[in-house]
Structure 1
Amino acid sequence: MKDLWKNKVFVLVASADLIQQIGIWVRNMALLFYVIEQTNNDPVAVSLLTVFEYAPIFVFSLVGGTLADRWNPKRTMIAGDALSAVSIGAILVLVMAGWWQAVFAATAVSAIVTQFSQPSSAVMFKRHVPEELIPAATGVTQSLMALFTIAGPVLGTVVYSWAGVESSLAMLVALFALSASLQLALPTYKREPRIAGGSVWREMLSGWAYMRSQRNLMLITLSFALIGLGAGLIQPLDVFLVTERLHLDKEDLQWFYSLGGIGMLIGGAAAATLGRKANPRLVVTVGFAILALSVAVEALSVWTGLTASMRFLVGATMAFLQVVLGAALVSMVEEAYIGRVNGTATPIMMAAMLIGTAASGFLMKTITLVPTYLLAAAIVFLSVPLALRLRFPARKGEATDSAG
């Protein structure tokens, strides 16, 4: 870990991520409360915030990953944060002029820019962070996200309650400008000449062909889709699990979410420490099995302590899996394709999750709550045999993983 903190690129990217996470949560909470106040608790208006946040993932994720493989990643990251600062500044002016609906654009702009900057961060890691340090680097960034899953809503609420929407937006401008300035210190990055040619569409097709040719990538992507489908089936039903199975108030759901965030924090920290030594295939296989078992136990449990323990376990397992798989992907994917691989896997998982979400209410009415959860657990468990077929390259000093 000491060597990791001496790596300039990692420290700069992690610091920029920290600043961006603060900005994201200030944005999320400030805009949520502001829209509620402006519309007198209109659920349609509130749900539109989610639409404006997730729709760009489908529209821009793949093209963003492709362009990240073409563009200079340092310039892309700096331009993305600078564009966020400028656009939110313009939105602030509109809000001050009485056009409160402009806040929806703030969410959309942030989500769009992320689809370009995140793959660029992975490219920088691939070039400048030693392969043996990537699990630890991924674990630290995952832990930062988990930490803000816990503390972010509190921070955003405090800022909005104390300063209001206009000051919150002004704070966003300052945070994104600071992040862009920080990334100016990243080392200069030069693309190989062969990357420059060809159309975006041709390179997107090239990215798909590359993924189809890599068995591990296809297996991991299919596993992500199964987990996304299973998670989508149960995510909207969590509140019913709390009220109907545990007979608690619906407001108590927040504590289960917090437990999941704490689990993510601990799981990410554990992966940062142990991920380098762990057998990736064993971790992924056991992790998928634990996820499926935890969902089933959550459904059958009528004890608050047991359900809470499962929620913590799910968070910790997901974080550990994300770190190990994220590090493995960065290691196994050629540098020229990192952006496109990231830009393909993410929307596939999101699409599966939204399909599950759309079906969850219908299934609950048709087969009731517990069978729906058990169905989700079975879908997640289908990823276990896929994980058993993964073949990771042996690390230095290790025997080669059995062929397949």
Structure 2
Amino acid sequence: MLYQNRTFRIILFSDVMQQLAIWIRNMALLFFVMEQTNGNKVAVSLLSILEYAPIFIFSIVGGVLADRWNPKRTMIASDLLSAASIGVIMLMLANDWWEALYVSVFVSAIVSQFSQPSSAKVFKRHIREDQVPAAVGLSQSLSSLFLILGPIVGTAIYQWAGITASLLVLPVLFLLSAAALTMLPKDDKPKERSNASLKSDLTSGYRFVMAEKSLLRLFLTFAFIGLAAGLVQPLEIFIVTERLGLSKENVQWFATADGIGLLLGSLLAALLPKLLQAKYLLPLALAFLGITFIVEGSSIWPLVTGAFRFANGMLLAVLNTAVASFVIAKIPDGMVGKVNGLMTPLFIGATLLGTGVSGLLATSIGLVPVYLIAAAVCLISVLPSLKVHFQRSDTAASHKA
């Protein structure tokens, strides 16, 4: 049984702590920056830019090193660095330099690029392949549960005690995660000594992806989705305040609707793993995402907006589980980090491009046109997704770690 797997339980607890910390941080910074800048759209967009820019830069290196380093030690070090970065930010904040809060996002984004592929390596080595879809689905389910609670808790802490108390919670959560990770089993796989340079490893990962046609199409699809997501992500709070006429604090309830959808979708994927093999799962999810952007951008009714956020989260959870399961279970061990390292910056680079122009576009042409543009990009992404298959090809089978 999957629940009897000690490694799975430890990783699950660590993920929960990290996700809760991230959401408390995100809500606190969002509210604080809006208050400091009087709701400046460009300043809010800058939060997302600083979150994604280092991911774009460091993900490739992090993916390659994840295939070289000890995954357990890498994840523990990442949590310790995240906790230390919050302490530095609090010192800067004490000296009235509130802009230093942007540094917290920057540092956290860097260290996560070394932790995430290492976590995938642990799943790859310590969980049976037939249990991977359920493991990924359940992992995302509990993370989604705290995705629901995170905005509520983050908003409550910020409203009750302000930015300082919100930041004080974060090191505790990261340290709890690090403590749990110390109980992971020792890596029983012999450590591979590689004399290859980083450039050679990157080249081998690139060649692997180019030989895998489904992966190549998946990369292109992710680039389109990243662009669409980047366009709308910084504007969600303005949908709440301008289109729906609600206070900024109500953004937590729409994040909660999205989180409930993610939770139920992840549970569905875990309980029905064969669903992940559905031929048209990916294009249907993308087409629905485009419809969701249209409704969310044009709706003036909170219930309608919330309902589509819920449905969007549910379907995307199934899709995310399918992709993550494919990478962990079907990609050879020696390529897991490299594939993650190449896929992530492509997605993040496209997201960064969308985020970079989001505030300027919304200021010049309005919220609704930006959401319609994002919907059009989603519909375009359906084309390459039609030939993506979540099965391992002969090429993949021939690659060994």
Task: Check whether the contact 1:88–1:173 (CA below 8 A) recurs between aligned residues.
Answer: yes
| Cα distance, 1:321–1:46 mapped onto 2, change above 3 Å | closer
Against the structure 1 CA distance between its residues 250 and 156, is the aligned structure 2 distance closer, same or farther, given a 3 Å change threshold?
closer
| Aligned residue number for residue 17 of structure 2 | 19
Q: Secondary structure at the match of 2:280?
A: helix
Task: Name the structure 2 match of 1:341.
Answer: 339
Q: TM-score, normalised by structure 2?
A: 0.84
User: For residues 20 and 241 of structure 2, what CA distance do their matches in structure 1 show?
Assistant: 32
The CA distance in 1 between the partners of 2:126 and 2:90, in whole Å, is 37
> Unaligned 5+ residue runs, structure 1?
396-404
The residue identity in structure 1 corresponding to 2:82 is S
Q: Offset at 1:386? A: 2.4
- Structure 1 pair 296–45 and aligned structure 2 pair: CA distance change class (3 A): closer
TM-score (norm 1): 0.83
Alignment of 1:275-294 (within 5 A): 275-294=273-292
- How far is 1:340 from its partner? 1.7
Tell me the residue number matched to 2:108: 110
Deviation sequence 1:204-228 (CA, Å, 0-9, x none): 2221121111112111111111122
Partner of 1:178: 176
- 1:266 partner letter: L
What displacement does 1:323 show? 0.9
Residue type matched to 1:79 in 2? A
Q: Given the superposition, is the C-alpha separation of residues 50 and 389 from structure 1 closer, same or farther in structure 2, using an over 3 Å criterion?
A: closer
Match of 1:151 among 149, 152, 166: 149
- 5 Å-filtered alignment, 1:190-269, equals 192=190, 194=192, 196-236=194-234, 238=236, 248-249=245-246, 251=248, 254-269=252-267
Tell me how large the CA RMSD over aligned residues is.
3.3
Q: Give me the whole-angstrom Cα distance separating, in 1, the residues matched to 2:77 and 2:344.
A: 22
Q: Residues 155 and 252 of structure 2 are in contact (CA less than 8 Å); yes or no, is this contact kept in structure 1? A: no
* Kept after mapping to 1: 8 A contact 2:152/2:252: no
In structure 1, C-alpha distance between the alignment counterparts of 2:379 and 2:186, rounded to whole Å:
44
Q: CA deviation at 1:261?
A: 2.3
CA drift of 1:165 comes to 4.5
User: Which deviates the most, 14-23 or 268-277?
Assistant: 268-277
Q: In structure 2, how many angstroms separate the alpha carbons of the residues matched to 1:369 and 1:46?
A: 15
2:181 partner letter: Q
Q: Larger Cα Rg: Structure 1 or Structure 2?
A: 1
1:127 Cα deviation after fit: 0.7
Residue 97 of structure 1 deviates from its aligned partner by 6.0
Seen in structure 2, the aligned counterparts of structure 1 residues 175 and 325 have a Cα distance that, compared at 3 Å, is: same
SS, match of residue 388 in structure 2: coil
Of stretches 385-394 and 204-213 in structure 1, the one that deviates more from structure 2 is 385-394
- 1:402 equivalent in structure 2: none
Partner of 1:67: 65
Q: What is the percent sequence identity of the aligned residues?
A: 45
Retained in 2: the 8 A contact 1:195–1:336? Answer: no
In structure 2, what is the equivalent of residue 89 of structure 1?
A: 87
Whether contact under 8 Å (1:136, 1:276) holds in the other structure is no
- Post-superposition shift, 1:353? 2.3
Deviation per residue, 1:162-219 (Å, 9 max, x gap): 5555554443333222211211111111555555221122212221121111112111
User: Could you tell me which residue of structure 1 aligns to residue 399 of structure 2?
Assistant: none
Instruction: State the shift of 1:152 in Å.
Output: 1.1
The farther-off stretch of 51-60 and 188-197 is 188-197
In terms of mean alpha carbon deviation, does 251-260 or 104-113 score higher?
251-260
| Paired residue secondary structure (1:281) | coil
Amino acid at match of 2:340: N
Amino acid corresponding to residue 204 of structure 1 in structure 2: L
